[in-house]
Amino acid sequence: MAHHKSAKKRIRQTVRRTAVNDARRSRIRTYVKKVETAIAAGDKEAAKAALRVAEPELARGAGKGLVPKNTAARKVSRLSARIKAL
């Protein structure tokens, strides 16, 4: 257990950041899943709309260091390619 004041503060910060990161990661997964379900249903317009919402969420996650930048770009690219193929 931490005894130094700075170490205790670091623990508090880590708990807070972990909660924020978990929430953001969950939101990214949810929005990506909405795009995938629209693609599976064959609804091109709904998939496009869902991707327009998911793309900034992925970019935000990449900017915050939650997911690597290339991973976010790859996901957006693959989703848009699948929508285009509908």
What span, in angstroms and rounded, lies between the C-alpha atoms of 56 and 32? 11
What span, in angstroms and rounded, lies between the C-alpha atoms of 38 and 51? 10
pTM comes to 0.84
Specify the amino acid at residue 38.
A
> Which pLDDT score is estimated for 63?
95
Would you say 60 and 38 are in contact if contact means Cβ atoms under 8 Å apart?
no
- Return the sign of the alpha-carbon dihedral for residues 42, 23, 52, 62: negative
User: Can you give the C-alpha Rg of the chain in angstroms?
Assistant: 17
Query: How high is the mean pLDDT in each 10-residue block of the chain (86 residues)?
Result: 91 96 96 96 94 96 95 96 94
Q: Where are the domains of the chain?
A: 25-85
> Which pLDDT score is estimated for 83?
95
> Which pLDDT score is estimated for 16?
97
